[in-house]
């Protein structure tokens, strides 16, 4: 017997088991624990009252995790993970979860539903298209680890200021329609850099997080967004300077990661990252449905 319940009415242990069974045989090892599962919900802005767990024979057998946030002047709903136990795939449970998710979004005033899927995951993409999502872009997850042969002192074409991520979100050209995990709300404990032109007007921004080990040593920098005002002519100069400052001139034995960079909408940023030696770790499709 199949039943679907809200995650808010289940235990974190149920949620973790539903996650593990739902993502068994996935492209990456997605195994989690109840503690890590709860932390994921908090870090990614996912809400138990909006998320669903599937039970089969009384046991957790899959789930869909959802979140809602205001982005720009729109209410965005994000599917942060849909998985069904391998023994139940193809039975229509995934479609039921998606239909109930869309109903939850509509009931909460969501205007756009979004999600990402690994580009090779044809069955999942077909399911999402069946319920009305469409591919709006491709996304690249990139990395550049360790010492870089040609580090660089950032060229100072523009004055920059360090601030909190929320300030980047207030800029008129902030990319509020970019993937959920790249938005300023996902930069918990992070920073922003804002570049200004010679007249003092904002010309671009970067949002990122830095990680440190227990001794306080800088170990990693994760880039979420780096964009320029589309109205300016020197967009590549702005982005190049912001990236160089974000990654500290590409010096040091650290991990450098760029998360879900849109291939079409963020072409300038992507080109500069590739030119600096970043390698593609994985690719996803960015999907959306207007409600």
Q: What is the pTM of this model?
A: 0.92
Residue 259, domain member (yes or no): yes
The lowest-confidence range among 94-103, 131-140, 250-259 is 250-259
User: Domain check: are 105 and 233 in the same one?
Assistant: no
* Whether pLDDT at 146 is above 90: no
Give pLDDT, residue 154: 57
Residue 241, domain member (yes or no): yes
Which of these, 181, 169, 101, 172, lies nearest to 139 by C-alpha position?
Answer: 181
User: Domain check: are 122 and 233 in the same one?
Assistant: no
User: Domain check: are 185 and 266 in the same one?
Assistant: yes
Two tokens, residue 138:
């491709």
* Whether pLDDT at 187 is above 90: yes
Two tokens, residue 117:
């899927």
User: Domain check: are 121 and 177 in the same one?
Assistant: no
- Band of residue 173 on the pLDDT scale cut at 50, 70, 90: very high
User: Domain check: are 180 and 266 in the same one?
Assistant: yes
User: Domain check: are 174 and 275 in the same one?
Assistant: yes
Question: In whole numbers, what is the pLDDT of the chain averaged over residues?
Answer: 94
Around Cβ 53, how many Cβ atoms within 10 Å?
27
Judged by DSSP in three states, 259 sits in strand
Mind listing the pLDDT tens digit for each residue in 270-285?
999 999 999 999 999 9
Which of these, 95, 127, 131, lies nearest to 113 by C-alpha position?
Answer: 131
User: Domain check: are 9 and 120 in the same one?
Assistant: yes
- Band of residue 151 on the pLDDT scale cut at 50, 70, 90: low
Query: From the CA atom positions of the chain, what is the Rg in Å?
Result: 20
Domain boundary among 132, 159, 187: 132
Residue 184, domain member (yes or no): yes
Give pLDDT, residue 225: 98
pLDDT mean over 170-178: 95
Among residues of the chain, what percentage have pLDDT more than 90? 88
The C-alpha atoms of residue 16 and residue 12 are separated, in whole angstroms, by 6
Give pLDDT, residue 3: 95
Residue span of the structural domain in which 276 resides: 142-285
Residue 291, domain member (yes or no): no
- Band of residue 193 on the pLDDT scale cut at 50, 70, 90: very high
Residue 76, domain member (yes or no): yes
* Whether pLDDT at 152 is above 80: no
Residues contacting residue 73 through CB under 8 Å, at least 6 positions apart? none
Among residues of the chain, what percentage have pLDDT more than 70? 98
* Whether pLDDT at 28 is above 90: no
Residue 148, domain member (yes or no): yes
Mind listing the pLDDT tens digit for each residue in 103-123?
999 999 999 999 999 999 999
Number of folded domains in the chain?
2
Residues contacting residue 45 through CB under 8 Å, at least 6 positions apart? 67, 69, 78, 180, 185, 186
- Band of residue 149 on the pLDDT scale cut at 50, 70, 90: low
User: Domain check: are 75 and 123 in the same one?
Assistant: yes
User: Domain check: are 122 and 191 in the same one?
Assistant: no
The C-alpha atoms of residue 169 and residue 188 are separated, in whole angstroms, by 14
User: Domain check: are 152 and 257 in the same one?
Assistant: yes
- Can you give the CATH number for the domain in which 65 is found? 3.40.630.30
- Band of residue 249 on the pLDDT scale cut at 50, 70, 90: confident
The C-alpha atoms of residue 99 and residue 4 are separated, in whole angstroms, by 12
Residue 137, domain member (yes or no): no
Domain boundary among 132, 152, 172: 132
Can you name the residues that pair with 280 across neighbouring β-strands?
142
pLDDT mean over 231-241: 93
User: Domain check: are 192 and 237 in the same one?
Assistant: yes
Residue 290, domain member (yes or no): no
* Whether pLDDT at 291 is above 80: yes
Can you list the alpha helix ranges (DSSP code H) found in 50-110?
93-107
* Whether pLDDT at 219 is above 70: yes
Decide the pairing of beta strands 159-163 and 191-196: antiparallel
Domain boundary among 109, 132, 155: 132
Which of these, 36, 47, 49, 39, lies nearest to 9 by C-alpha position?
Answer: 49
Give pLDDT, residue 288: 97
User: Domain check: are 186 and 242 in the same one?
Assistant: yes
């Amino acid at each position: 017997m199949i039943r679907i319940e809200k995650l808010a009415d289940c235990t974190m242990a149920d949620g973790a088991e539903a996650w593990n069974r739902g993502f068994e045989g996935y492209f990456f090892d997605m195994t989690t624990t109840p503690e890590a599962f709860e932390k994921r919900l908090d870090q990614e802005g996912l809400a138990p009252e909006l998320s669903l767990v599937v039970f089969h024979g009384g046991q957790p057998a899959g789930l869909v995790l959802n979140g809602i946030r205001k982005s720009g002047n729109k209410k965005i709903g994000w599917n942060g993970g849909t998985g069904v136990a391998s023994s139940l795939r193809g039975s229509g449970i995934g479609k039921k979860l998606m239909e109930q998710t869309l109903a939850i979004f509509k009931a909460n005033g969501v205007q756009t539903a979004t999600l990402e899927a690994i580009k090779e995951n044809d069955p999942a993409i077909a399911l999402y298209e069946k319920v009305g999502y469409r591919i709006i872009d491709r996304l690249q997850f990139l990395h550049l680890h360790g010492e870089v042969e040609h580090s660089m002192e950032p060229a100072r074409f523009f004055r920059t200021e360090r601030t909190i991520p929320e300030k980047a979100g207030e800029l008129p050209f902030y990319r509020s329609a970019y993937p959920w995990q790249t938005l300023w709300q996902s930069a918990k404990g992070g920073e922003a850099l804002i570049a200004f032109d010679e007249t003092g007007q904002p010309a671009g921004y970067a949002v990122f997080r830095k990680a440190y080990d227990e001794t306080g040593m800088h170990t990693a920098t994760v880039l979420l967004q780096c964009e320029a005002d589309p109205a300016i002519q020197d967009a590549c100069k702005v982005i190049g300077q912001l990236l160089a400052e974000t990654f500290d001139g590409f010096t040091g034995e650290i991990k450098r990661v760029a998360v879900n960079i849109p291939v079409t909408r963020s072409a300038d940023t992507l080109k500069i990252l590739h030119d600096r030696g970043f390698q593609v770790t994985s690719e996803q499709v960015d999907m959306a449905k207007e409600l």
